[in-house]
Amino acid sequence: MRLNCIIVDDEPIARDILQSYIEKIPELNLVKSCKNAVEAYEALYEFSVDLIFMDIQMPVITGIEFLRSLRKSPLVIFTTAYSKFAVEGFELDSVDYLLKPIIFERFYQAVQKALERIAIRPQSTEKMPITNDYIFIKQDAKLVKINYCDIEYIQAEKDFCSIYGGKKRLLASLNLKLFEQMLPPHKFLRIHRSYIINLDKIKALTGNRIELTTMEIPVGANYRELLKKN
């Protein structure tokens, strides 16, 4: 048995230590090391993840908030410098709660608990769905929270995307395909190779064009049938 795992911790040294420990355990396969919750969300869509090593005290989104935002979570081992969150961590059915500085022997014990639990847990190859009503976008050195209801449409800009809502525009360092995977399909729909729209913002359909609150967007030929189903 080999578990795909990710690290989520805003401290580079902590990530490096956990990665060195993971490399010593043949049953673990590190697929991504994340410095914040946004990167963790991306990892859950990109990979089939079995186990998360999660810090709790992180800026913008805590480890507790991140875990609560998932409808179906991988196994979680919390790694933190604060014992005061232990009760809340175990209430969320975490596998273990490791206090920093973490020694390898204690880390190994926690991994064995995860292996035992996953051995009796139904396996799934599905990527983890997310059920919150917002998304966080990296802007310079910070994460900006954007509510789904504030997004009108998203436009591809080569390897970036522009997010439009009213008169506001945010540039995100994500491609449109990744946005399509991250956004809830009952709220958003890709209608063109360059556009994703918020279905709630549609005002009218005219031929092969969709009229939104502030913009008319063409419907790509490959997306017309999908639009009819929605």
The pLDDT tens digits of the residues spanning 79-135 come to 988 777 665 656 677 899 999 999 999 999 999 999 998 887 655 444 444 556 777
Whether 142 maps to a domain, the answer reads yes
- 3-class state of residue 82 by DSSP: coil
Over residues 3-30, the pLDDT tens digits come to 999 999 999 999 999 999 999 999 999 9
Instruction: Give the lowest-confidence range in 4-13, 41-50, 174-183.
Output: 174-183
Q: Are residues 167 and 86 in the same domain?
A: no
Pick the closest to residue 214 from 167, 173, 179 (CA basis). 167
Look at the block and give the residue holding tokens 């230590």.
Answer: 17
Domain harbouring 152, CATH code: 2.40.50.1020
What pLDDT is stored for residue 132 in this prediction?
65
Whether 127 maps to a domain, the answer reads no
Which strands make up the sheet holding 51-54, listed edge to edge? 28-34, 3-8, 51-54, 75-80, 96-99
Q: Are residues 170 and 212 in the same domain?
A: yes
What pLDDT is stored for residue 182 in this prediction?
75
Q: Work out the mean pLDDT of the chain and round it to a whole number.
A: 84
What pLDDT is stored for residue 125 in this prediction?
43
Look at the chain and report how many structural domains it folds into.
2
Query: Region 153-169: what's the mean pLDDT?
Result: 87
Q: Are residues 7 and 82 in the same domain?
A: yes
What pLDDT is stored for residue 128 in this prediction?
47
Whether 124 maps to a domain, the answer reads no
Q: Are residues 104 and 144 in the same domain?
A: no
Over residues 61-90, the pLDDT tens digits come to 788 888 877 767 899 999 988 777 665 656
Domain harbouring 82, CATH code: 3.40.50.2300
Whether 190 maps to a domain, the answer reads yes
The enclosing H or E element of 6 equals: strand 3-8
Task: Answer whether 133's CB lies under 8 Å from 90's CB.
Answer: no
Q: Are residues 146 and 98 in the same domain?
A: no
Q: Are residues 91 and 169 in the same domain?
A: no
CA dist list (Å): 67 to 52, 81, 124, 134, 143:
10, 18, 18, 15, 18
Over residues 185-220, the pLDDT tens digits come to 888 999 998 999 999 999 988 878 899 988 899 988
Query: What's the domain range around 71?
Result: 3-119
Q: Are residues 152 and 193 in the same domain?
A: yes
pTM: 0.62
